[in-house]
Structure 1
Amino acid sequence: MPVLTRLIPSPLFVEVRRGALDSLAGILADQRLSASGRVAVAISNGSGARLRERLEPLLPGADWFDGADGTLDGAVRLAEAFRGGHYDVLVGLGGGKIIDAAKYAAARVGLPVVAVATNLAHDGICSPVSTLDNDAGRGSYGVPAPIGIVVDLDVIQQAPRRFVAAGIGDVISNISACADWELSHRETGEPVDGLAVAMARSAGENLLRHPGSLEDPDLLTALAEALVLSGIAMSIAGSTRPSSGACHEISHALDVLHPKRSAQHGEQVGLGAAFASHLRGEREVTGLIVERLRSHGLPVTADQIGFTETEFTEAVHYAPNTRPGRFTILEHLDLSPSAIRDAYADYVQAVNC
């Protein structure tokens, strides 16, 4: 009998521990990514710039590049800046914007990229997607996933608590995204990759039920690992499907309709996941998501991130336009604005009981 297997795209290494940043040069050499030390380092203006002074003596052969404006044009400029440098690897050091820019830039010039995260705000640290602002708003671009992940827990503990909490919201939204994917399978026959679902949902369930606080190193480790699993799940699926359903459609709609007022991505998708679960009639799941979001100071109603009921209703109605061809509970119900307003009023009443 033949043994059937498949190759799973995944990082070459994942380092999640205290002091990992000080070991970066050794990690790159040990993994045979850069024995010569010819490294390009793309840094953010905030945390990346602050860490540069600490890392420069440890990476004497590195060249440093500023590339964290979060735009497609900025990522293209970053690629052009190090195109002729004959580097072994590109290191993206900072938050989500610089890591997304680094992934896109590295893809343009054919370099492997190592993500060194200074916060855990969303699953971009390991995903095969770069989210960048463009002339039309914001776009998602397919790129190779990072070849390595480095998360220094000492650095993460210094990040703004809001960013860490947002990462929890992003991971928990996997639960809703997977439910939407399975709904699409039942209603439209869309194939579901069971392994991708198992990884993404397990990551979400782990954070949903983890009792730790934002100051707990065990929770931070669990969050970092969950974000990595979410990224691998997307690589396995070949799309963002295991981590992006109605929850993300709602978030993208808020970004499009109110680009200057959008909250943290993880805050928006966490709220979107709770509301989408309510629309699917999953009362127990909705209650668990709301409870966990609240425990970490995350929003559970639109007004808590600065949106009125009318604005949230408009965003939910517009949301399917952000992902044409994707089937979620929003496409399934196809609610009118008045029906969405009523459903949201029911949701608010339920979560405030």
Structure 2
Amino acid sequence: MPVLARMIPAPLVVDVRRGALGELAKILADQRISPSGRVAIAVGATHGPVIRETFQDGLAGADWFTVGGCTINAAIKLMEKIRPQQYDAIVGIGGGTVLDVTKYAAARIGLPMVAVATNLAHDGIASPISTLDNDAGRGSYSVPAPIAVLVDLDLIGQAPAGSVRSGIGDIVSNLSATADWEAAHSLRGETIDGLAMSLSRTAAQAVMNHPGTLADDGFLTTLAESLVLSGVAMLVAGTSRPSSGACHEISHAIDLLYPERRGFHGEQVGLGAAFAWFLRGDLDRFHATVDCLYRHGLPVTPLQLGFSLDEFADIVGFAPQTRPGRFTVLEEAALTPERITAKVADFNDHAYARTQSPVTPEGRNLDSSV
């Protein structure tokens, strides 16, 4: 008998709106995740106390824990605190740090995890991956995806604009990542998943084509839903391929070579995607990516990201080593050091010229000279 369908372990709930966090107890009960409300709730040190004070009355059966850093050790400490107790689920309320640590801890204990995002910095909201610092730098770890995802736009509005803006760069990079995946399929015979590809591209295009800004609830909703879709695309594919290609190799290289200078993940992968399109010679996609990044105030040149052209050339040269075996445009181009230097300089000139002005529509100055 032919297989007519496949089962995808997608979230039971995806709720994006103002006031979503106030419905957490009801969602836990209605979806039978925790009818009693007996859950462990992990929050960050900065905003955690405020969140707890505001919402703990509606979650009387919950215990609260504070996450101390985006590291393997922090995840293990959280796991050790939670394991002796009996909980129905673990709820992470916070940004990428809290969610990644909570996902890893929940996976180790074997409990379902509910993600309540207070930021939109990257597509880890609903992904089956935790990115955590370790003794060797930073690693990505496979974990079960969240069983439910809530995004409270009231809390998103309180997050630093730069971190929310980062999510735009992360989702835009999906188009470059899927182009790398297609090339790996054509040139190396790598298996490709059409559904995952479609989800990833649809998510990126929704954000790129939206006319709104961070001040617009409609745009924030589209961004949040797209980040969730991107995570589901990885879940469908069973790999980060739909969302990670040369763009992410460049970001990983920054994290490893310049850990003290790494910026927001989305800023790094967004710029990495623009460089990848330029390297492919696809100027239409290059222009579209630069235009989107620039319109939302993200860096579009190495200098705006905080690196000299020589440093960025070193980053590009090292990038393929961050994901051995992953075929992207960086590997396909077989770049020599001399060609990397020339391409980086040419990319920088074209990207800067595309912006016409060093000041973004939102007023953020991206001129590296000031």
TM-score range, shorter chain: over 0.9
Answer yes or no: is 1:137 the counterpart of 2:129. no
Deviation at 1:334, TM superposition (A): 1.5
Aligned residue identity for 2:57: P
Answer yes or no: is 1:11 the counterpart of 2:11. yes
User: Aligned partners of 1:57 and 1:31: how far apart in 2?
Assistant: 20
Q: Deviations over 1:50-102 (max 9, x none)?
A: 21110111111110111140010110110010102110110001110110000
Q: Equivalent residue for 1:28?
A: 28
User: Aligned partners of 1:194 and 1:325: how far apart in 2?
Assistant: 21
Aligned residue identity for 1:84: P
Q: Equivalent residue for 2:246?
A: 246
Q: Deviations over 1:261-305 (max 9, x none)?
A: 001000000000000011011100100110110111100011112
TM-score normalized by structure 2?
Answer: 0.94
Partners of 1:47 and 1:118 within 8 A in 2: no
Partner secondary structure for residue 205 of structure 2: helix
Partner secondary structure for residue 48 of structure 2: helix
Partners of 1:75 and 1:104 within 8 A in 2: yes
Deviation at 1:48, TM superposition (A): 2.8
User: Aligned partners of 2:292 and 2:317: how far apart in 1?
Assistant: 26
Q: Equivalent residue for 1:127?
A: 127
Q: Equivalent residue for 1:314?
A: 314
Deviation at 1:9, TM superposition (A): 2.1
Aligned residue identity for 1:238: G
Q: Equivalent residue for 2:149?
A: 149
Partners of 1:46 and 1:94 within 8 A in 2: no
Q: How does 1:290-301 map to 2 (within 5 A)?
A: 290-301=290-301
Q: Equivalent residue for 2:100?
A: 100
Q: Equivalent residue for 2:185?
A: 185
Partner secondary structure for residue 8 of structure 1: coil
Partner secondary structure for residue 260 of structure 1: helix
Deviation at 1:3, TM superposition (A): 5.7
User: Aligned partners of 1:348 and 1:106: how far apart in 2?
Assistant: 43
CA RMSD between the two structures: 1.0
Q: Equivalent residue for 2:54?
A: 54
Partners of 1:196 and 1:242 within 8 A in 2: yes
Deviation at 1:345, TM superposition (A): 1.3
TM-score normalized by structure 1?
Answer: 0.98
Partner secondary structure for residue 173 of structure 2: helix
Partners of 1:95 and 1:117 within 8 A in 2: yes
Partners of 1:37 and 1:60 within 8 A in 2: yes
Partners of 2:301 and 2:352 within 8 A in 1: no
User: Aligned partners of 2:311 and 2:223: how far apart in 1?
Assistant: 31
Q: How does 1:1-353 map to 2 (within 5 A)?
A: 2=2, 4-353=4-353
User: Aligned partners of 2:344 and 2:311: how far apart in 1?
Assistant: 12
Partners of 1:47 and 1:95 within 8 A in 2: no
User: Aligned partners of 2:6 and 2:206: how far apart in 1?
Assistant: 26
Deviation at 1:49, TM superposition (A): 3.0
User: Aligned partners of 1:281 and 1:73: how far apart in 2?
Assistant: 43
User: Aligned partners of 1:312 and 1:45: how far apart in 2?
Assistant: 34
Deviation at 1:2, TM superposition (A): 4.5
User: Aligned partners of 2:72 and 2:59: how far apart in 1?
Assistant: 28
User: Aligned partners of 1:49 and 1:92: how far apart in 2?
Assistant: 14
Single out whichever of 66-75 and 98-107 deviates more from structure 2.
66-75
User: Aligned partners of 1:308 and 1:57: how far apart in 2?
Assistant: 51
Q: Deviations over 1:14-47 (max 9, x none)?
A: 0101111111111111111111111100111123
User: Aligned partners of 1:78 and 1:3: how far apart in 2?
Assistant: 41
- Where does structure 1 lack aligned partners over 5 or more consecutive residues? none
User: Aligned partners of 2:197 and 2:245: how far apart in 1?
Assistant: 12
- Where does structure 2 lack aligned partners over 5 or more consecutive residues? 354-370
